[in-house]
Amino acid sequence: MSLLSRELFIKNRLGLHARAAIKLVELAQSFESVITISNGEKDATADSVMGLLMLESAQGQRVQVSAEGADAEQALTAVSELIESGFDEES
């Protein structure tokens, strides 16, 4: 099992708010790997909406996304694409 990690910017105007967190949780639950999001002070697993909201990640903040497990590479790529696309929201 490998641990992969990538640093990303939160681009969307509202940051990691409820709708974005739900999209991230739904995506994370489609993978076996454990996905963790960290903002330097706090971290949360990507399968917990409440945990993600507690990160209070705003637009322009950097987050560290880590994935560990059998499909870590695919999970990290998919989560990175979602975050980098601004959670498919209008910015």
Distance, in Å, from the CA atom of 55 to the CA atom of 10, rounded to the nearest integer, reads 12
Q: Tell me which of 4, 6, 8, 17 is the catalytic residue.
A: 17
Q: Amino acid identity, residue 54?
A: M
Q: Side chain identity at 25, as an amino acid letter?
A: V
What average pLDDT does this structure show over 31-36?
98
More confident residue, 90 or 51: 51
DSSP the chain: -EEEEEEEE--STT-S-HHHHHHHHHHHTTSSSEEEEE-SS-EEETT-HHHHHHT-PPTT-EEEEEEEETTHHHHHHHHHHHHHTGGG---
Q: Which amino acid is at 75?
A: A
What is the pTM for the complete model shown? 0.94
Q: Is 17 a catalytic residue?
A: yes
Confidence at residue 6, expressed as pLDDT on a 0 to 100 scale: 98
Q: Which domains does the chain have, with CATH numbers?
A: 2-88 (3.30.1340.10)
